[in-house]
Structure 1
Amino acid sequence: MTKALIVVTNTAKLPTINRATGLWLSEATHFNKVMKDNNIDVDYVSPNGGYVPIDPGSLAPDSMDETNWSFYNEEKYRDQVLGQSPSAKQVDPKNYDIIYFAGGHGVMWDFPENKTLGEIAKTIYDRGGIVSAVCHGVVGLLSMKDNEGNSWINGKNLTGFTNEEEDINKLTDAVPFLTEEALKNAGANHTKTAAYTENVVADGRLVTGQNPQSAHGVGEAVIDLLA
């Protein structure tokens, strides 16, 4: 049976300023729903395991659509899936055909340098699986190395949260680096569309989305690849 692994953050607060952060809920739920609608089992994992915080902004009334509410209203999803997530070290990548890095600003502190997550993603890919990510979650790809120890995304076509979108967020000076710049510095071919409009880029078995608006589209592109 095809199975997907959704990677989420443990970071609950921006270390640089007094602002709560965490998983941007729709980036997990919208992808998860596409998998569910296509009978693909989904597990969640976080770098350290345990509690997965949700960014308060993603729970605002204008962000909570039917899909978000359907997951958030489920006690098991809140208390077990997000409340008691396994750690990266507890995951066997051989059990998965798809890995998906969800975003939220917190990932910028616990995704890029996590070698275990990078190894999980690389193993899934090398076994013929799909690597996918959205928004800030694409910084999880920075943890992936090729067989020579170099950046795995070097030369690959992808997208991710843009400098313009971060500026609109007014968090350019609060994040440790800019997602777009980090991807380019790692050798990736980063492409983008207008701020906060859907943009999905597929390069073989690598699928990325630019922003929260792209999470559903990333899921659909993953399903297309499976077909």
Structure 2
Amino acid sequence: MQILFIVTSAERGYWLPELTRPYWHLTERGHSVTLASPAGGAVRHDRLSNPHSEGSWEAGCLVSKGFLADPALAAALEQTTPLAGLDAAGYDAVHVVGGTGAAVDLYPNPEVARLLAAFWDAGKLVGAICHGAIALGNLATRLAGRSVTGFSLAEDLEAEKLYGKDFIPHYPQPVLEQAGMRFSHVEPWGVRAVVDGKLVTGQNQQSASEYSLALLHALQGANPVVNLTKE
């Protein structure tokens, strides 16, 4: 299947494992991924999400290390497809990559709204993680009443200590709640993924692996995990 990844073009950047882990899980099962961004061309990741950066929050992310070490994959980050003109009909699902930059240029965004609406109206899978979940705010009339998660307000208030107050123009939780979605979350930096039919969301970078597997299983229409534990 063909999967579209929407990545921020903003200077604040995307969170690397929120791109690399879904990419790995999906391509490992034979699916193809196209990277696209509002401006097209090169996209940048948050320095703290690079496992090789000093003080990285993802120093142990072997998936990101492997991704960056592959010349072809690293080159793909330099030549993303512009969102304008993209046709959702050519794809089976969409994943919105997180990172604080997503809250700068993916909401509000008419091109993101156009694409996500096309996926949703066609009954295709829509996924988003962390700050990327704010892109769902572009579909308020379609997603009102749906269950979602994303980077919580409590986490954004913690992030302000690092990035400064109002470091992004919008925070995901208030945007999605105001859009009528049922937003849930666990404690800051805890793990949560939510599946509501064709809608899959992950709370934060700590949830990247769980979210990626939930996305994969929803795409394939089956979860291979069988729990045989008897009460």
TM-score (structure 1 length as normaliser) = 0.88
- The 2-side partners of 1:180 and 1:35 are apart by 27
Q: Return the letter of the residue paired with 1:158.
A: V
Q: Percent identity?
A: 27
Do the aligned residues in 1 keep the contact of 2:104 with 2:170 (CA within 8 Å)? Answer: no
Residue 2 of structure 2 aligns with which residue? 3
User: What is residue 226 of structure 2 aligned with on the other side?
Assistant: none
Runs (4+) off by over 6 Å: none
Partner secondary structure for residue 202 of structure 1: strand
Structure 2 residue ranges without an equivalent (≥5): 222-231
- The SS at the match of 2:84 is helix
Contact 1:104 1:137 in 2 (8 A): yes
- Contact (CA 8 Å) 1:141, 1:152: kept in 2 or not? no
- Is the aligned partner of 1:74 residue 2:70? yes
The within-5 A match list for 1:136-155 is: 136-144=131-139, 151-155=141-145
- Please state how far the C-alpha of 1:127 moved relative to its aligned partner: 2.1
2:188 is matched with which residue? 195
8 Å CA contact 2:192, 2:207 repeated in 1: yes
State how far apart, in whole Å, the 2-side matches of 1:224 and 1:194 are.
Answer: 25
Task: Work out the CA distance in 1 between the residues paired with 2:17 and 2:58.
Answer: 8
Distance 1:90 1:58 in 2: 30
AA aligned opposite 2:2: K
Say whether the 8 Å CA contact 1:97–1:128 is kept in structure 2: no
Structure 2 Cα separation of the partners of residues 41 and 69 of structure 1: 20
- Return the alpha-carbon distance in structure 2 between the equivalents of residues 217 and 91 of structure 1: 29
Look up the equivalent residue of 1:126 and give its one-letter code.
Answer: D
In structure 1, the residue corresponding to 2:144 is in which secondary structure? Answer: coil
Alignment of 1:75-224 (within 5 A): 75-79=71-75, 81-144=76-139, 151-170=141-160, 171=163, 172-224=165-217
Alpha-carbon shift at residue 128 of structure 1 (Å): 2.4
What is the alpha-carbon distance in structure 2 between the residues aligned to residue 125 and residue 185 of structure 1? 20
In structure 1, stretches of 5+ residues that fail to align are 13-20, 145-149
Q: Does 1:45 align with 2:44?
A: no
- Secondary structure at the counterpart of residue 182 of structure 1: helix
Alignment RMSD (CA, Å):
1.4
Other-structure match for 2:227? none
Q: Is the contact made by 1:10 and 1:48 (CA closer than 8 Å) also made in structure 2? A: yes
| Counterpart residue type for residue 209 of structure 1 | G
Is residue 134–residue 171 contact of structure 2 (8 Å, CA) maintained in 1?
no
Number of residue pairs the alignment of both structures matches:
212
**Alpha-carbon distance, 1:49 to partner:** 0.7
Contact 2:103 2:171 (8 Å CA) reproduced: no
1:220 is displaced (CA, Å) by 1.2
Looking at structure 2, the residues matched to 198 and 38 of structure 1 have their Cα atoms a distance apart, in angstroms, of 24
Deviation at 1:22, TM superposition (A): 0.3
Where does residue 229 of structure 2 map in the other structure?
Answer: none
